[in-house]
Amino acid sequence: FLQSTDSTAAPLMASVMRTTVASHSHQSAAVTWLLLTSALIQSDQNLLAPNLSACAQEFALTPQEKDEKLGGLLAAALFLVGAPAALLIGAAADGAARRIDLLALLLLLGGLGCLGSSLAGSFWQLFAARALTGVSLGGGLPVTYSLVGDIFEPSERASQSGRLGLAMSLGGMTGQLLAGLLGPRLGWRAPFVPIGGLMLLLAASVRRLLPEPVRGRAGVAAASPYLVIPGHVSPHIGSLESRRGPPPRCHARGGERSLP
């Protein structure tokens, strides 16, 4: 007859349960930060749109110049800089040791671009500031989706990507709404200040509060720091194998042997 000893099995199960709860907590915190980051980056995209006339009047642009420069060239600046940035930063994210640092850099560039737009003294200064913003807009997409791919299981990635897309759309809508409310009262520059300030604040916070997920989670049941990989030592949760100690033993007729 086998007489199992539960002295080691019970702590092991308790450790697994605590680790599972902690992993879900880390996932929730991570996705919250990523949703906030994505929304904030996209909120800058339409900050000028509701106040083109006020901007054109300050820069002494004719109606034709307003359409050409503010309606055309500035939009082109976002695309011509943002599209190559998406490709280059996406490639950089594939090889970066810490994509969180890359995300913080994009928030920093976006914040500087916003504040630069609020301080622009000429159209071409505004053009340069909006082009800098294009780096943040273009590069934020591949970095956030890369992080989502390593935080969540394959079965969850589509739904989480949908949440990211929704956050981006809400961010763009919120930015344009803010510009429509503040612009007529405080001037066309005003909406860039709070958005730029929040980006700089978030850039500093993300590096400290958002842990870097383990790469290559496809086909793996769990990954640290959000889930546990047996044998992988996580700085946030730890290794399951390092906690469980020696295997449980049992007594049987004829001697003692380990459980399989």
CB-CB contact of 115 with 196 (8 Å): yes
Place of tokens 């500035």: 74
Q: How far apart are CA 229 and CA 52, in angstroms?
A: 53
In this prediction the pTM is: 0.72
pLDDT of residue 210: 81
Output the six-digit token pair for 41. Answer: 């980056």
Side chain identity at 32, as an amino acid letter? T
Q: How far apart are CA 201 and CA 99, in angstroms?
A: 18
Q: How far apart are CA 183 and CA 80, in angstroms?
A: 26
Q: How far apart are CA 165 and CA 221, in angstroms?
A: 26
SS (H, E, C) the chain: CCEECCCCHHHHHHHHHHHHHHHHHHHHHHHHHHHHHHHHHHHCCCCCHHHHHHHHHHCCCCHHHHHHHHHHHHHHHHHHHHHHHHHHHHHHHHHCCCHHHHHHHHHHHHHHHHHHHHHCCCHHHHHHHHHHHHHHHHHHHHHHHHHHHHHCCHHHHHHHHHHHHHHHHHHHHHHHHHHHHHHHHHCCCCCHHHHHHHHHHHHHHHHHHCCCCCCCCCCCCCCCCCCCCCCCCCCCCCCHHHHHCCCCEEEECCEEEECC
Side chain identity at 171, as an amino acid letter? G
10-residue mean pLDDT series, the chain (260 residues): 46 40 65 89 91 94 92 87 89 86 93 95 94 91 88 85 91 94 95 96 88 67 42 42 49 48
CB-CB contact of 123 with 59 (8 Å): yes
Closest by alpha carbon to 48, among 139, 116, 140?
116
pLDDT of residue 93: 87
Side chain identity at 218, as an amino acid letter? A
pLDDT of residue 218: 47
CB-CB contact of 215 with 96 (8 Å): no
pLDDT of residue 82: 86
